[in-house]
Amino acid sequence: MKFDLDTAWKDTTSLVRDNFGLLAVLSGVFYFVPYLAALLWVPGMSELAMGQFDPNNDKMEAMVQAMFADYWWAFILLTLVQGVGLLSMLALLRRRASPTVAEAIKVGVRSVASYFVASILLGFMIGLAAIVIVAPGALSGIAALAVIGVIVLVVMMFYLFTKFSMVSPVIAIDSVLNPLEALSRSWKLTKGNSVRIFFFYALLMVAYLVISTVVSLVFSLVFALGGAEAQTFGNAFSASLMQAVFAVVFIGVLAAVHAQLTRLKAAPAEPVDGTY
C-alpha cells in the first residue's frame, strides 16, 4: 500500500476541525505572539521577513549580520518557544490518552530539547551536503558546474526535509526522545513514499504562498492608510497571523501523515502469488 494524498488531506481537515479551538489558542500563544514581538522589536527582522533583504546591498547585509550578532539569543528563544508549541499541538492531536492542554504543553516542554538537537543534526547534514556537493564546482571556477551543484543541493535539501519531516511527530506522539532514534524512525516511516509525501507538502506550500501573498497585500493596503508606522505594524501582524494559521494546518498535516504512515507500516505485507 502507498501513501494516499486524498486520505491525508481528509484526515488533516478532520483533525483541525475537531480541535480548532485548542489549536488556535496554542498557536496564538506559541506562534503569533512571539513572532509578532520579534518582528516589532528586533531591528531589521521585519524587513528580512517581508523579503525586503537585498544580498547585493552591502549596507543591508551589514545590518542583517549585526542583527544576528546582537539578537542571536532572541532567535534561539523564538525557536525553542515555537518548538514547544509544535510538539504540544502534536501531542494534543494524536495522543491516545487524550491529554489536557496542560499535559500536552508538558510533553512539549519535556521533548523540546530532543527536537532542538535533532534539528541541529539535520542542519549539520545539510551543511555537510552543501560542502560536498557545491564546493567542488565553486572551487573549479566553472560556472556550469557551480550551478549544477546548487541545483543538486536544493534537490537534496527537499529530499532530506521530506525524509525527516516525521521527526517532530515521532518525538511528540511516539515519545521517542533520543534524537538519533527519532531521525532513524522518521527515515523508516517515509521509506517508499517519499515522492508522494513531497508532492503533498509542495501542493500545500504553493497554496499557502498564494493565500499569504493575497492576505499580506490586503493588510498592507489597509494599514498604509494610517502611515508608515501603521503599515509596519500591519505587515508584522499579517505575517504573524499567517504563520499562526499555517502552524495549525501544517501540524494537522504532520499528525495525519504520521498516522497514515504508521498504519501502512503496521499493515501486513501485500500478497505475492497468493501468499504473504
Q: Which residue has the higher pLDDT, 271 or 69?
A: 69
d(CA 108, CA 29): 13
| Res. 161: pLDDT tops 90 | yes
Looking at residue 273, its pLDDT comes to 47
Q: Which residue has the higher pLDDT, 140 or 203?
A: 203
d(CA 88, CA 75): 20
Give backbone dihedrals phi and psi of 28, rounded to 5 degrees, phi first: -65, -40
Report H helices in 95-193. Answer: 101-140, 143-163, 167-172, 179-190
State pLDDT tens for residues 48-86: 766 555 556 667 667 777 888 888 888 899 999 999 999
Looking at residue 272, its pLDDT comes to 45
Question: Over the chain, what is the mean pLDDT?
Answer: 86
d(CA 166, CA 182): 8
| Res. 276: pLDDT tops 90 | no
| Res. 162: pLDDT tops 80 | yes
**CB distance 171 to 182 below 8 Å:** yes
The one-letter code for the residue type at 79 is T
Looking at residue 114, its pLDDT comes to 95
Q: Which residue has the higher pLDDT, 271 or 154?
A: 154
**CB distance 178 to 114 below 8 Å:** yes
| Res. 233: pLDDT tops 90 | no
Place 149 in a pLDDT band, splitting at 50, 70 and 90. confident
Q: Which residue has the higher pLDDT, 100 or 242?
A: 242
Rounded mean pLDDT of 16-33?
A: 93
Percent share of the chain, pLDDT over 70: 90
Domain range list for the chain: 5-265
State pLDDT tens for residues 86-128: 999 999 987 666 678 888 899 999 999 999 999 999 999 888 8
| Res. 1: pLDDT tops 80 | no
Q: Which three cell numbers stand for residue 232?
A: 509596519
Looking at residue 54, its pLDDT comes to 57
**CB distance 170 to 189 below 8 Å:** yes
| Res. 267: pLDDT tops 70 | no
Rounded mean pLDDT of 219-233?
A: 80
**CB distance 224 to 230 below 8 Å:** yes
> Worst-scoring range by mean pLDDT, 33-47, 110-124, 196-210?
33-47
Q: Which residue has the higher pLDDT, 268 or 201?
A: 201
